[in-house]
Structure 1
Amino acid sequence: MKILVVGGGGREHALVWKLRQSPRVKQIYCAPGNAGISQIAACINVRAEDTQGLLNFAKKEQIDLTVVGPEIPLTNGIVDLFQQEGLKIFGPSKAAAEIEGSKALAKDIMAKYNIPTARYATFEDAEEAREYVKKYGAPCVIKADGLAAGKGVIVAMDDETALAAVDIIMAERAFGKAGDRVVIEEFLQGEEVSILAFVDGETIVPMVASQDHKRVGDQDTGPNTGGMGAYAPAPVYTSELAKLVERDILYPTVKALASEGRTYRGVLYAGLMVTPEGPKVLEFNARFGDPETQPVLSLLETDLVDIMEAIMEDRLAQQSVMWKDEAAVCVVMAAKGYPGEYEKDMAITGFDQVPAGVEVFHAGTTLRQGEVVVSGGRVLGVTATGRDISKAVELAYQGVKAIHFAGAHYRSDIGQRALNRE
């Protein structure tokens, strides 16, 4: 098989790495890829958002399967475009992907079908949003309605921050058109967990539960990021909780989407808060999460190509999906200044010193005159597996300490919540 992976981040590096393990795969291309991906796949100079360019390449190279990593091509309708041309592609349709593309739409579907989530209100007028904040007060969560690379969410613990958040999103247009509308939600207390599930329109096969670390600093301090690390499995997600989530959230959501004419095939990501009243949905994503994909795929035993084909052919119920009885941890190494303006072009060294059992997934890297340099905010996802979280944490940080670039920063407490439960 010839496979095309769309995207150029850590998630896509993990996807390429996993797909390469299939004996059925002969050649993998990645568009646009990165320095790490270029070591195991042929990188092509086509942007992930250039759906027509990707289609032209797939037809010219007779690609057997295209796998879409990022949300923008999905919400732009790349799956519909490829399918109209008779090409196999893994991911949800444009209509189904809108569950991520519009937070307001996702909230409206959850409200209509009684899927547990935070109370909310949606606004297109900044002044009305401010009045709502003044009436109900903080703590609350202000979200840009559209796609904002995981950064369009502001948690406001006081009224001043909440009002400023409305201005940042709607007046200052910090996230561009994504801020045409805002969703204001009640603040939920509890522990977050990420549930990624394989879905073929009807059947759901949840992956091992993972936990992301959104804030830039230790002990969840500082601004939100695209994710500073993740681990799996997450001990907060007990078998009892898993049954509840499948019954009250995953199945009703997939059924609701089908009822709305948005049949869902691909990976559905449910970001949940485990509250004292039970699990509630924080957000849905229409694809593999980043950085959750790195530890989750490290634990997958089954051939990923087989799973993807079963989903596209609506026979997931007949496909066995097996997981390693181990743990995996991903620690993100970020560029100086991230998640704000960050520095680029620093050389990265030490890859040859990384211990066995550690995979270094590249995110924001590029090759310059044969040297790997920083090109993005989240630079590397250093990922290790071990017999338990403790061993995986220890090994991942050994990997982190082996790698060097000027201004590198990372959290030192990835996996700590899991360790506190032991």
Structure 2
Amino acid sequence: MNILVVGSGAREHTLVWKLAQSEKADKIYAVPGNPGMAELAECIEGVSITDNAALVKLAQEKNVELAVVGPEVPLTNGAVDAFNDAGIKAFGPVQAAAEIEGSKSFSKNLMKKYNIPTAKYEVFTEAEAAKAYIRAEGAPIVIKADGLAAGKGVIVAMTLDEALGAIDEIMGDKAFGSAGSRVVVEEFMAGEEVSVLCFTDGRTILPMVPSQDHKRVFDNDQGPNTGGMGAYAPAPVGTPELLAQVQKEILEPTIKAMEAEGRLYKGCLYAGLMVTEQGPKVVEFNARFGDPETQVVLPLLESDLVEVMLACIDGKLAETEVKWSKGAAVCIVMAAGGYPKSYNKGDEITGLADVAADGSMVFHAGTSAKDGKIYTNGGRVLGVVSKAEGIKEAVDKAYAGVAKISFKDAHFRHDIAHWALERLAK
């Protein structure tokens, strides 16, 4: 079958890479795609991923039988609904279900209504009311822009001044645009984070291997939040006992709650969790594959991704077995100098072929191509991914790959998977 992947980041590159391994995949198209995807798919530029009519027209012209929508923006914009209305199977939640990521206040209110464990919170549309609440609660405290902010709309304020400044930044300065017209103020949760992604057809839920993202830009979890500086899987914090608890207390109640609200959820549901002393609690839900978690989870998937996606769409996930390999995978994100603030574009990247020769993978996040050369074209530029029998071996292999790649002012974290390595050392 012909497959269309919507998106241009490292997550979509990973999806294309995995889908291309299926015997069911005849031809893969990517819109707009990136230079890394171009080795496996035909990339089509000039079509906006928020123009549903144009996406459907393209899919019809290319005889696409399966559309896979990667990013949150087209999902919350109703891309899956548009494909469905045109009779094209699409993997991802419909617009009403994608609201679980599109609005943090919707998500928090859903969890409160259905007793799904999460942090205490309040929602505000007025800055002074939010500040009064923050003064009463004290710090540390967490401030979140309600809408989509490319993974950067969360500020963990360790002091009262930071928290009040966050309100000014989000609501006053409009740092995240209209996404910050409403804010969610949450209690600070202490513990270790874990990402549990799952496949679901709206009734059956099949979790993927647990992973862990590194949100802060600098080593030792310092600096501002980013879209993610690296990830690894499986995360040792995600024990079989913990995952069973997550399935029973979080994933199943959430999928049932969405159906009860008339928002049947099909696709990939991402649960970002904090493992607290009281047990796992939801930090956030995302309505799609995580980035960079996808880059370490899908390399461990042994099953045919096309078959799994079709089972989710057709409501046949209960009849589907999803198999995982026993190894580990690590992703190191190489970012442009200055990221997550202003950064340069157009710097040549060298060494990519050397990494592939050593058996590691490079998933493109923000790159462009010209005259046979690859250049930087985003904040997060590349994800270097390695597989091995264990986390330590995968970490060493991934950093060896990073060392082979060069571009001006490249920066990356040097402590990816430190939580796992510390656990394994005990």
Name the TM tier (shorter chain). Answer: over 0.9
Q: Give the corresponding residue for 1:176.
A: 177
**TM-score, length-normalised on structure 2?**
0.98
**Partner SS for 2:349:** coil
Distance 2:89 2:200 in 1: 16
Q: Give the corresponding residue for 2:360.
A: 358
Question: Does the aligned pair in 2 maintain the 1:144–1:152 contact within 8 Å?
Answer: yes
Distance 1:224 1:368 in 2: 31
| Aligned pairs for 1:226-241 within 5 A | 226-241=227-242
> By how many angstroms is 1:150 displaced?
0.2
> By how many angstroms is 1:137 displaced?
1.3
> By how many angstroms is 1:60 displaced?
1.2
Distance 1:274 1:357 in 2: 34
Q: Deviations 1:11-60 (Å, cap 9, x if unpaired)?
A: 00000000000011111000001111111110001232222211110011
Q: Give the corresponding residue for 2:395.
A: 393
> By how many angstroms is 1:352 displaced?
1.9
> By how many angstroms is 1:357 displaced?
2.4
Distance 2:279 2:224 in 1: 27
Question: Does the aligned pair in 2 maintain the 1:198–1:204 contact within 8 Å?
Answer: yes
Q: Give the corresponding residue for 1:126.
A: 127
Q: Give the corresponding residue for 1:312.
A: 313
Structure 1: which 5+ residue stretches go unaligned?
Answer: none
Question: Does the aligned pair in 2 maintain the 1:7–1:47 contact within 8 Å?
Answer: no
Q: Deviations 1:170-215 (Å, cap 9, x if unpaired)?
A: 0110101101100000000000000000010000000000000000
**TM-score, length-normalised on structure 1?**
0.99
**Partner SS for 1:402:** coil
Output the amino acid matched with 1:26: D
Distance 1:345 1:135 in 2: 47
| Aligned pairs for 1:242-253 within 5 A | 242-253=243-254
Q: Give the corresponding residue for 1:35.
A: 35
Given candidates 405, 408, 411, the residue that maps to 2:407 is 405
Q: Give the corresponding residue for 1:77.
A: 78
Output the amino acid matched with 1:378: R
Q: Give the corresponding residue for 2:385.
A: 383
Distance 1:368 1:120 in 2: 48
Q: Give the corresponding residue for 1:420.
A: 422
Q: Deviations 1:249-278 (Å, cap 9, x if unpaired)?
A: 000000000000011000000000000110
Q: Give the corresponding residue for 2:21.
A: 21
Distance 1:272 1:293 in 2: 16
> How many aligned residue pairs are there?
422
| Aligned pairs for 1:160-199 within 5 A | 160-199=161-200
Output the amino acid matched with 2:6: V
Distance 1:124 1:58 in 2: 40
Distance 2:358 2:65 in 1: 33
**Partner SS for 2:220:** coil
Structure 2: which 5+ residue stretches go unaligned?
Answer: none
> By how many angstroms is 1:134 displaced?
1.2
Distance 1:157 1:338 in 2: 22
**Partner SS for 1:273:** strand
Q: Give the corresponding residue for 1:2.
A: 2
Q: Give the RMSD, CA atoms, in angstroms.
A: 0.7
**Partner SS for 2:64:** coil
Q: Give the corresponding residue for 1:274.
A: 275
Q: Give the corresponding residue for 1:372.
A: 374
> By how many angstroms is 1:400 displaced?
0.3
Output the amino acid matched with 2:190: Q
> By how many angstroms is 1:369 displaced?
2.2
**Partner SS for 1:367:** strand
Distance 1:49 1:348 in 2: 29
Q: Give the corresponding residue for 1:259.
A: 260
Q: Give the corresponding residue for 1:210.
A: 211
**Partner SS for 1:219:** helix
> By how many angstroms is 1:135 displaced?
1.3
Instruction: Select between 227-236 and 77-86 the one with higher mean Cα deviation.
Output: 77-86
Distance 1:52 1:376 in 2: 27
Q: Give the corresponding residue for 1:152.
A: 153
Q: Give the corresponding residue for 2:327.
A: 326
**Partner SS for 2:63:** coil
Instruction: Select between 48-57 and 320-329 the one with higher mean Cα deviation.
Output: 48-57
Q: Deviations 1:320-361 (Å, cap 9, x if unpaired)?
A: 100001000000000011000011100000012114320100
Output the amino acid matched with 1:406: K
| Aligned pairs for 1:288-307 within 5 A | 288-307=289-308
Distance 2:67 2:118 in 1: 33
Q: Deviations 1:191-250 (Å, cap 9, x if unpaired)?
A: 000000001000000000000000000010010000000000000111110111000000
Question: Does the aligned pair in 2 maintain the 1:169–1:179 contact within 8 Å?
Answer: yes
Output the amino acid matched with 2:207: P
**Partner SS for 1:295:** helix
Output the amino acid matched with 1:9: G
Instruction: Select between 200-209 and 79-88 the one with higher mean Cα deviation.
Output: 79-88
Distance 2:158 2:22 in 1: 47
**Partner SS for 1:81:** helix
